[in-house]
Amino acid sequence: MDAQQDFYQIKSAAEVKEIRNKYLNKLEKFKTSIPPENERYRIGIIGEIYVVLEQSINNQIEEKVNRFGFEVERSQYLTDWVRDNALPFTGKDLEEIEAKGEEFIEIEIGGHARGNIGHAIDFKEKGFDGIIHLKPFGCLPELVSQSVMDDLSEKYEIPVLTISIDEQTADANVLTRVEAFLDMIKEKDYREVM
């Protein structure tokens, strides 16, 4: 008998409680516990705005990382872009983030280069375990970002994976690289080293 049939068979308030408990007990086996925040692995995703936001371009990288048990946060959301570009008087978040990036990129070169470096530093300061840097193939500001990622990774002791994306980027290739990166983070457990 399924839940709908049980529902139609109810004749008293006591039966409501009985049926409710029956199905809550059945759901118990599917219950999973969410680890406390200090025990979760967290990955920050940075990069050129379109590649970061558009799931069909980045091969659903957020979902892939989530499937491996990692919590994901992007550096950019559409609401942030609207706030920072259409309503620039509403906040100073982007300026503060870009100021962090000036350590590695002193002049404004366009795109999201300095902001991405700043976001990487910000993710580290928030206790993230790794950074995935997404860039369109041949994007000059992102190439500049990529060129300083090794120095940033070494100085701030945070692993960084850069993935260059174009129409030839194979899903299997991205998945293999992401899986290896996430396994490295779990194996090494950078949180215990620092």
Range of the domain at 6: 1-31
Q: What is the pLDDT averaged over residues 24-31? A: 80
Same structural domain, 27 and 41: no
Do residue 23 and residue 47 come from a single domain? Answer: no
Could you tell me if 54 and 13 lie in one domain? no
Biggest alpha carbon distance in the chain?
74
pLDDT at 189: 62
pLDDT tens digits for 128-158? 999 999 988 888 778 778 888 888 899 999 9
Residues 81 and 138 in one domain: yes
One domain for residues 105 and 12: no
- Both 1 and 41 in one domain: the answer is no
Q: How many domains does the chain have?
A: 2
Distance in angstroms (rounded) separating the CA atoms of residues 194 and 41: 15
Lowest mean pLDDT among 31-40, 65-74, 149-158, 172-181: 31-40
∠ CA 12-15-21, rounded to 5°: 150
Domain check: are 118 and 159 in the same one?
Answer: yes
Question: Do residue 72 and residue 161 come from a single domain?
Answer: yes
